[in-house]
Amino acid sequence: MTRPIIGVTTSRRSGWRIFPLVDLNIRIAGGRGRRWGAGRPADIDAVDGVIIGGGDDISPELYGGAPVIGVRLDPARDALERRLAEEALARNIPILGICRGAQMLNVALGGTLDQDAWQTFGRESEIRTILPRRRIDVLDDTHLARIAGQADMDVNALHSQAVNRLGDGLRVSARDENGMIQAVERIRDPFAIGVQWHPEHLFYARRQRAIFRALVVAARARAEARNQAAAVREDALGPA
């Protein structure tokens, strides 16, 4: 069976080292990654699924926040990822948002962000590590619980922003012990989940691999449906 193609957005600064890791997770799950980014071609019609990756902070201009000083912004990446998120949702293309990507999914659906999450929730609770040292509560009766299990989960944390007001059609699927939102998901199709942590660094954990597998399964289902529809159209038109 052909591996579904997953478009992966990356940071200009760290994409060269992060994309191979994300692609490894996609390939373990049965798919194949295609790197996107500002200045790179990003054709939504050429992929079966989308991952919006981590990295730079999102400009507060996108959600009506206050200007900030001393943070890394990339307006070109903001514009690209917002467009891709909106187009993917409109075309029923599955989406996984990772850290910044979860925040962008929320913003694309009209939500807002907490620009300094650790100030809001307490500097004493700040964790910045790729190791799974933050305990989160996976909420009952959510897509995330069905995908990765309902038990508490240990994850990493590399973010400074966090989801604040939810975007249209989203619900919370995980919070940490301080109440900070750690995962969001779309209530209805298409498949769209955003996780605040970096599961690509935790590929040795079965529950983290399950998140990538769920995306690939949804992408494959969409690709097969699209191919079947194309075959029906071709049969209806008959030979040229």
Q: Considering just the CA atoms, what is the radius of gyration of the chain in Å?
A: 18
pLDDT in tens, 171-226: 999 999 999 999 999 998 889 999 999 999 999 999 999 999 999 999 999 999 88
Catalytic residue flag (residue 198): yes
Query: Where does the pLDDT of residue 120 fall: very low under 50, low under 70, confident under 90, or very high at 90 and above?
Result: confident
Catalytic residue among 159, 185, 198, 201, which? 198
Q: Please say whether the beta carbons of 86 and 168 come within 8 A.
A: no
Q: What is the pTM of this model?
A: 0.92
Do 205 and 19 form a contact (C-beta atoms < 8 A)?
Answer: no
The yes-or-no answer on residue 200 being catalytic is: yes
The string of DSSP codes covering 4-69 is: PEEEEE--TTTHHHHHHHHHHHHHHTT-EEEEE-TTS---GGG-SEEEE---SBPPGGGTT----S
Residue 15: what pLDDT?
A: 76
Class of domain 5-237: alpha beta
- Would you call 201 a catalytic residue per the annotation? no
Q: Which of 81, 159, 200, 201 is catalytic?
A: 200
**pLDDT, mean over the chain:** 91
In the chain, what are the domain boundaries? 5-237
Return the closest-CA partner of residue 25 out of 238, 224, 226, 215.
Answer: 215
Active-site position among 81, 99, 159, 185: 99
